[in-house]
Amino acid sequence: MYHTFVHILDTFTNVTTLKNAMKPNGESIERQYGQSLFKPVPISRTCKDAGVPDAYCACFIPRHVPLNDSYLIIAAKHAVDRINSFIPKICHSVELDTIVSGGMMEKKTDLEITYIIAFRTNPGNFIFEANVDYFPKENTFATNDNILRMDKINAQHTHCLTSAIGERFCYCL
């Protein structure tokens, strides 16, 4: 919308002072993404060009993966390990209980596969969703830090915490 408003102002008023946002100290912030709605979208535009994370990119359509797929299981375990790296020491570490659903997106240009996994952990019976990238050439996995908690956070599980940090993952000892 920003670029559309700038386009309108440029077209009708010759005012170009809104080209960049301003920081409180008066420095301008260059706009990296976006374009006016009045300009055609280039055919070659990618999600990366638009600043859209791969997880939300419509160019990569996920396809279903069977829950017993060995790579899906490895990816889910990798996500659980990543969760355990976030957990404060006053919380139980979690283990993979079951995989609820799984999908994958292949990015042919990057030689990368992203697994989208919903899984349940114990203790706590928490449900998470994570995106785990698999790089076949190196045979390595990398979990996106934006792991989503899909069920309600119960205060009984997080009573040991003094701040909201970690409450998404914590099951108090």
Domain-wise residue ranges, the chain: 2-40, 63-149
What is the C-alpha separation between 143 and 79, in angstroms, rounded? 6
Q: 63-149 in CATH: which number?
A: 3.10.450.10
Flag whether pLDDT at 17 surpasses 60: no
Residue 163's pLDDT is 78
Flag whether pLDDT at 149 surpasses 60: yes
79-137 pLDDT, tens digit per residue, is: 999 999 988 889 999 999 999 999 998 876 667 899 999 999 999 999 999 999 999 88
CA distances (Å), 50 to each of 16, 44, 45, 63, 79, in order?
A: 23, 11, 7, 23, 27
Q: How many CB atoms lie within 10 A of CB 136?
A: 11
What is the C-alpha separation between 151 and 162, in angstroms, rounded? 21
What is the C-alpha separation between 107 and 3, in angstroms, rounded? 29
The H or E element that residue 103 is part of is: strand 95-107
DSSP notation for 29-59: E---S---TTSPPPTT--HHHHT--GGG-TT
Flag whether pLDDT at 61 surpasses 90: no
Query: Residue 117 corresponds to which tokens in the numbers above?
Result: 């996994």
Q: What is the pTM of this model?
A: 0.73
Confidence bin at 42 (pLDDT 50/70/90): confident
Flag whether pLDDT at 75 surpasses 80: yes
